[in-house]
Amino acid sequence: MWEPVGVTTGGTVVLYVVIPEVLLSVETCLVFDLTPQPPLIVRVTSATPISLLYLGSLVASYHVLEVLLA
């Protein structure tokens, strides 16, 4: 079982993950609401920027909350 070590937690939640998760949810909803019933190729290519936004925001959030403010 995975356990957070050396990072700030709020209960059992790692705090630097919360903001990227919210952004992931919002962007996913926006992309799929703006493109109703898209062809498969549009859905697949839409997943790439969503994944990159999540990764980038996860790294930025970790850096700000665990490195700069720690």
Q: Per-residue pLDDT tens for 16-69?
A: 999 999 999 998 888 888 877 878 888 888 888 889 999 999 999 999 999 998
pLDDT tens readout for residues 12-28: 889 999 999 999 999 88
Which stretches of the chain are DSSP H helices? 18-34, 40-62
Q: 69 and 7 in contact (C-beta within 8 Å)?
A: no
Distance CA 20, CA 13 (A): 13
- pTM of structure: 0.77
Which of 55, 53, 61 lies closest to 16, judged by CA?
61
Distance CA 16, CA 56 (A): 12
Q: So what's the pLDDT on residue 21?
A: 94
Q: So what's the pLDDT on residue 20?
A: 94
